Amino acid sequence: MEYELETPLKDEDISKLKAGDTVYLTGKIYTARDSAHKRIIEEGAPMDLEGVVLFHAGPIIKEDENGEYKIVAVGPTTSMRMNPYEPEVLNRGVKAIIGKGGMDDNTQKALVDNNAAFLTAVGGCAALYVSSINKIDSVNWLDLGMPEAIWELDVERFGPLIVTMDSKNNNLYKR
């Protein structure tokens, strides 16, 4: 099946997804890599995580002469790097993770326990994904560096994303 979902995601959005489905997202998504995940656990998130979609990505951003940020490219980074942090972050209300390469059994259990999903973004499609981004709404924790900061992205029909780990314990990486 193919779904077009609006963020923030709700339980009923996630419950209908099955491994193998295709998803397109409209609304807000947030980039977050290792350092951001660690800080979310240690200090709390700079935004409400309820229904949020986190994108494991280190975007390439440029700042123009007016001090406004423009996104140049954004593609998924290897998600297994977030394994030590992801279950705790999911416990805080995150409903979907976008990344590549899958995640471990602890994260799979947290996806099931929290009715959440892992969506795979295709590596090498950074230009395609950036074309779905309307604008950068905000940035948090820029002190971590541009790729590690949390970038709030306003997206329209962001995808295609493949449901690879669903809330029913199905995992395409294990098939």
In-domain check, residue 110: yes
Q: pLDDT tens digits, residue range 2-56? A: 999 999 999 999 999 999 999 999 999 999 999 999 999 999 999 999 999 999 9
Rounded distance between C-alpha atoms, residue 101 and residue 78, angstroms: 6
Instruction: State residue 104's pLDDT score.
Output: 97
Confidence (pTM): 0.96
- The pLDDT mean for the chain works out to 95
In-domain check, residue 164: yes
In-domain check, residue 174: no
Rounded distance between C-alpha atoms, residue 34 and residue 160, angstroms: 24
Q: Is the pLDDT of residue 58 over 90?
A: no
In-domain check, residue 14: no
Domain count, the chain: 1
Rounded distance between C-alpha atoms, residue 85 and residue 15, angstroms: 23
In-domain check, residue 36: yes
In-domain check, residue 109: yes
Q: Residue 109 belongs to a domain with what CATH number?
A: 3.20.130.10
Instruction: State residue 128's pLDDT score.
Output: 81
In-domain check, residue 16: no
Its domain, for residue 163, covers 2-9+25-168
Q: Is 12 helix (H, G, I), strand (E, B) or coil?
A: helix
Based on the residue annotation, tell me whether 56 is a catalytic residue of this protein: no
Q: What are residue 174's phi and psi, to 5 degrees?
A: -95, -10
Considering the candidates 37, 39, 56, 95, report the single residue annotated as catalytic. Answer: 37
